[in-house]
Structures are given as structure tokens and as C-alpha cells.
Amino acid sequence: MKDPIIQCDQLSLLLGGMKVLDKVTLSVHDGDFLGIIGPNGGGKTTLLRVILGLEAPSAGSVRVFGGSPGSFPARIGYVPQRLFFDRDFPISIRELVLMGRISNKKLFQHYNKRDREKADEAICTAGLERLAERRIGDLSGGELQRALIARALAGDPELLLLDEPTASIDPQMKTTIYDLMEHLKEKLTIVLVTHDTGTISRYVTRTASLNVTLELYESALSPNRESLSALYHYPVNPVIHHSQVSRTLDHP
């Protein structure tokens, strides 16, 4: 059996004197689609930052592709929770997606034919070919999220990390993004952080709940109000997303 792509062993992290992650043990293997759920402040984004090499653990160990986090940036695509930029800046989707090739370039090296082909391939995968020349300031929230996913895919990664890719977009656009995930999981290993708990049983292969400590489920978790309310510490009504329809568990 191949070594795990991500291996966390008793990982702990203190930030500002507060324990954000506590003895997290986790293995992610080739072909996994892991969904990570949990409340705000539970450490989900921090865990991704540790995997990327942007935060150093206080205790325990982390290996990514058999090396230290941050050693293989070209093998990882990352879609952050928030991207702060000037929406009025005159840049198109195509130009934004090309930026995903930077990790494959040497300093001051220009984009070449292969870079442009990979960017165009990622744009098509994300279903944005008709919008490729549109300025990012003219995009809807869902279109922008797909453009950011395309940017991550342009680097031709083996591992895709996504931090709340459907936050603040409407249910129909959420469905298109999750359908894109369904397609991508056939060729990529994916770690998805989400509050959209209804995606768990529909798309992912394994689930982890993270609130400082982590509990791993070796299959997709079918969410229920009781288990999620215990995790989030307040009442939760799961929402199940289907290909063209979203419905709450309370109202079939």
C-alpha cells in the first residue's frame, strides 16, 4: 500500500497561547475525498494551513507527499476561504487562472504554450470557457468560486485543498460546484472544509469532524440533527443537496 499523501500524527498547535489543534491524527490516501466539518474556530482552516506549510505545529508531526509541509507546492492546489483583492482590477478569468501556473515557474520566467494550454484545460473543466475573457469584477459569487477552483487546477495538482468553497453563494451555484467536485474526485485527492453538512453523505468518501480535536469516520457520514448539534454546540438543521434540488431533512 502506498504511503499516505497526508499524515498527521498527534498534531497540536498553539496560537496566541490558545490550543487550536489538539493531538490530531489523520491519514489521507491517494483517491480520498475527505470532508471536514466543524464550527467556526474549530481549527479547520488552521489544519489546512499546517498541511500547506503556512503554520508550524507546536507538537506532533505532519508529512505531505512524504516530506515536510510546503516542500512540494506544485503538487497541491489550494482554494482559500477568502481572497481579498480589488474586484475592479482589470483582469480576466483567463488571466486569473494562469496565475495558478506560478508554482511551476522559475523566478521571472514567462508563461509558455503549455501554461496557456493547462489554463484553458482548467477553465473548461470548471465550465467557464464561455466566460474566459470576462473581468473578474463582473462575476457572480459562484462564477468567481469556479474561477478560483480553475486557478488551483491549472497547476495540475495531485492534491486539492478547498476551504469553504460554497460559502455565501446561492443553492443553485452550490450544486454546480459540488457537481464539479464529483467530477474531480475521479482523478484527484480532495480535502474539503465545509459548513454545508448536507454534502457529506452525497459526495465525500470519508468524513472528519474537527473542533480542536478530530474524530474520523471511515465512510461518508450521514448527518443527523443530534450528532451535528453536539459538534456545533447549538441546534443544526442539515440540508441535503441533490443534483438539481436542495431540501431540508425536516421537509421532504
Burial class (CB within 10 angstroms; exposed 0-12, middle 13-18, buried 19+) of 1: exposed
pLDDT at 42 over 80: yes
Task: Supply the CATH classification number for the domain 6-248.
Answer: 3.40.50.300
Domain extents in the chain:
6-248
pLDDT at 66 over 50: yes
Distance separating alpha carbons of residues 190 and 173, to the nearest angstrom: 20
In the prediction, which pLDDT does 55 show? 95
Q: In what order do the strands lie in the sheet with 189-193?
A: 76-79, 159-163, 189-193, 33-37, 206-211, 213-217
In the prediction, which pLDDT does 248 show? 32
Sign of CA dihedral 223, 194, 198, 229: positive
Q: Say if CB 180 and CB 199 are below 8 A apart.
A: no
Q: For the whole model, what pTM was predicted? A: 0.84
pLDDT at 94 over 50: yes
Distance separating alpha carbons of residues 45 and 161, to the nearest angstrom: 10
pLDDT at 223 over 80: no
